[in-house]
Amino acid sequence: MEGSLEKEIPVPRNYFDPIFVLILIAAYMALSTWLGFYITSSLILFLMMVKLRVPYLRGLVISILLTVFVNLMFYKILRVPLPIGFFGW
Amino acid sequence: MDFVLHGLALLMAPKVLLIICISSIYGLFVGAMPGLTATMAAALLIPFTFFMDPVPALVSIVTMSAMAIFAGDIPAALVRIPGTPSSAAYTQDSFELTKQGKAELVLGVDVIFSAIGGLMGAVVLMSSAPLLAEVAMKFSSFEYFWLAALGLSATVMVSLGSQVKGALAMILGLFLSTIGVDITLGYPRFTFGSVELLNGVNFIPAMVGVFGVSEVLRNVLQGELAYPITRVKAGKIFSGMGRLIRRYKVNVLRSGLLGTFIGILPGAGADIAAWLAYAVSKRSSKEPEKYGAGSIEAIIDAGTANNSCLAGDWVPALVFGIPGDTITAIVIGVLFMKGLRPGPMIFERQPEIIYAVYLAFILANLLMIPFGYLAIKTSAQMLRVPKNILMPAILIFCIVGSFAINNSVFDIGTMLVMGVVGYFMEANGYPVAPIVLGLVLGPILEQNFMMSMIKSEWDLTLFFTRPISAILGGLTIIVWFFPVLTAFLEKTKKRN
């Protein structure tokens, strides 16, 4: 039933995008202890949005807002330590 | 009565009420987004619940899942894509009715009958769990071994699609649960000298990977879908509901009980409940020709069943520590990490937790009516949230959530690997739910087996000579031979 539903809508497939997502996760692992949470998260969010064709300026603003929001949820409300980098933030 | 009041007091704390409201909105949103499942919502929620007290943690999972299963009906009716797999059974009927201009009726039925189903499930949960807990008090490691084996076997039996693929997925989960230090002998297994693997595969990052990262991968592969969204007049959705309840009261009772029963079966979740209720409904309906072409009866039956199933899923989870579906499997994993061992002892030692879960189910299903109304009213805007912003947001929550549990970058790696595994499994028709059950039940199975063996000095016959153990063992073996049995029965039926 589900299969027949999907077949009717032609879906464009971007085979490189999932690989790009994996590269971003690996990049986060490598960079977060060096650049810290703020820079790494904003950067990764921004790169992924640009890859998914979000306009540059909008992508930048949303990336920063999301980073602040995640920080608020985990660090301020739940008091979970986040990766701290070179610059102390 | 004291415990009820204590449970209610825990639930009515301002902080908990706030968590309930946020979880409701979160559940409604994730449930209504096509491509995001209720299990993914639970996997993303656990890093947060990990840092909460047990009661708010459980309550937030209860409300979130109830809302998500209902909200899955909204896109089914409006854009013909089920929001969660649990709504797939009646997506066709919902959309046909929408095409006939009855979208308001469909959504009204969805919200009202979801709430009724959920309340029925809650009643069954409240009445059966304490009784079963008394039986469970008599259980020893032999019985728990069989319960875990039964849970794993039932998971494979009911997995949609190929049972062989279900079994392979379950075995992968069991294998992952053996990684780390052996629980009885203390010997490291499959760690390849890695210090991080000594504690085993960390449960939360593994779940976030299988259910979160794999969804992100799938969604970015597909690209943006543009679908026309039917607009609804939310003000009209509740008209005529009283008449429908009176007319279909037998259906509601039947499907509510069927759904709860499916829930109590270990391993079978809300999607299976919906498909089964749909099939039963069609068989006993006076107008079976309407099914698939827009039958309101089908939507009532399946919509009641999938929500009542949710509460049923908690029965084996609370009483035996054996999950009823993937969401409760995640819940059990969380409880273990908090040092709470689900099982009959919880009913004696921390009854207020049990009552808080009961009351949360009732409250969540009552709140479903106002919150569901708001969700339907804003459905057009909700369905238009662009995926190219939503997916990066989900990804960052996956990464940060996995990291937060142990403050370790290694866990992000676990999440990454499990995300790729989950993606390829689903792409090739392997169910991923059995992995979770294998991962949660594996240690229970092993620990109880080893305990029994040490107690009885390797006397295997005790697994079949203790009365309850023999019954559970017999049931498990019947489940193993179920595919052979059904084939045999079909053959004899044809011959006669």
Domain locations in chain B? 2-495
State how far the Cα of A15 lies from the Cα of B345, in Å rounded to an integer.
51
pLDDT exceeding 70 applies to what percent of chain B?
Answer: 99
Q: Which residue has the higher pLDDT, B178 or B154?
A: B178
State the pLDDT at residue A2.
Answer: 40
Q: pLDDT band at B142, cuts 50/70/90?
A: very high
Residues B268-325 have pLDDT tens digits of 789 889 999 999 999 988 888 889 888 999 999 999 999 999 999 999 999 988 888 8
Residue of B nearest to A33 (CA): B409
Residues A29-87 have pLDDT tens digits of 999 988 989 999 999 999 999 999 899 999 999 999 999 999 998 888 888 888 887 77
* B222 to A22: CB separation less than 8 angstroms, yes or no: no
* A52 to B420: CB separation less than 8 angstroms, yes or no: no
Q: Which residues of A touch B91 (CB under 8 A)?
A: 1, 5
* A13 to B222: CB separation less than 8 angstroms, yes or no: yes
* A79 to B397: CB separation less than 8 angstroms, yes or no: no
From the list B248, B228, B47, the residue with the least C-alpha distance to A75 is B47
State the pLDDT at residue A1.
Answer: 38
Of B51, B91, B395, the CB nearest to A21: B395
* B416 to A15: CB separation less than 8 angstroms, yes or no: no
Residue type, B260: T
State the pLDDT at residue B496.
Answer: 65
Residue of B nearest to A50 (CA): B388
B363 has pLDDT over 90: yes
State the pLDDT at residue B216.
Answer: 92
State how far the Cα of B298 lies from the Cα of B300, in Å rounded to an integer.
5
Of B89, B223, B416, the CB nearest to A11: B223
Q: Which residues of A touch B78 (CB under 8 A)?
A: none
* B82 to A73: CB separation less than 8 angstroms, yes or no: no
* B223 to A32: CB separation less than 8 angstroms, yes or no: no
State how far the Cα of B337 lies from the Cα of B175, in Å rounded to an integer.
20
CB B385 within 8 A of CB B75: no
Averaged pLDDT, B150-179? 88
CB B225 within 8 A of CB A11: yes
State the pLDDT at residue A6.
Answer: 46
State the pLDDT at residue B161.
Answer: 72
Domain-by-domain residue ranges, chain A? 15-77
Averaged pLDDT, B222-238? 76
Alpha helices in chain A (DSSP H): 2-7, 16-35, 37-51, 56-71
How close is the nearest chain A Cα to the Cα of B397, in Å?
7
B191 has pLDDT over 90: no
State the pLDDT at residue A88.
Answer: 66
Interface test with A, best of B389, B394, B408, B428 (most A CBs within 10 A): B389
Residue-averaged pLDDT of chain B:
89
State the pLDDT at residue A4.
Answer: 44
Residues B455-477 have pLDDT tens digits of 988 888 888 888 889 999 998 99
C-beta neighbour count of B126 within 10 angstroms = 18
Averaged pLDDT, A17-36? 93
State the pLDDT at residue B252.
Answer: 94
How close is the nearest chain B Cα to the Cα of A18, in Å?
5
State the pLDDT at residue A12.
Answer: 62
* A17 to B85: CB separation less than 8 angstroms, yes or no: no
From the list B138, B2, B45, the residue with the least C-alpha distance to B331 is B45
Of B91, B220, B409, the CB nearest to A52: B220
B266 has pLDDT over 80: no
Residues B101-132 have pLDDT tens digits of 899 999 999 999 999 999 999 999 999 998 99
* A18 to B221: CB separation less than 8 angstroms, yes or no: yes
A7 has pLDDT over 60: no
Q: Which residues of A touch B400 (CB under 8 A)?
A: 37, 41, 70, 74, 82
How close is the nearest chain B Cα to the Cα of A17, in Å?
6
How close is the nearest chain B Cα to the Cα of A64, in Å?
11
Of B85, B213, B400, the CB nearest to A70: B400
Averaged pLDDT, B383-401? 91
Of A2, A49, A78, the CB nearest to B392: A49
Residues B39-88 have pLDDT tens digits of 899 999 988 888 888 889 999 999 999 999 999 999 999 988 899 989 99
pLDDT exceeding 90 applies to what percent of chain B?
Answer: 48
State the pLDDT at residue B193.
Answer: 82
Q: pLDDT band at A5, cuts 50/70/90?
A: very low
Chain A positions contacting chain B at CB under 8 Å are 1-2, 5, 9, 11-15, 17-18, 20-22, 24-26, 28-29, 32-33, 37, 41, 44-45, 48-49, 52-54, 62-63, 66-67, 70, 73-74, 78-83
* A45 to B416: CB separation less than 8 angstroms, yes or no: no
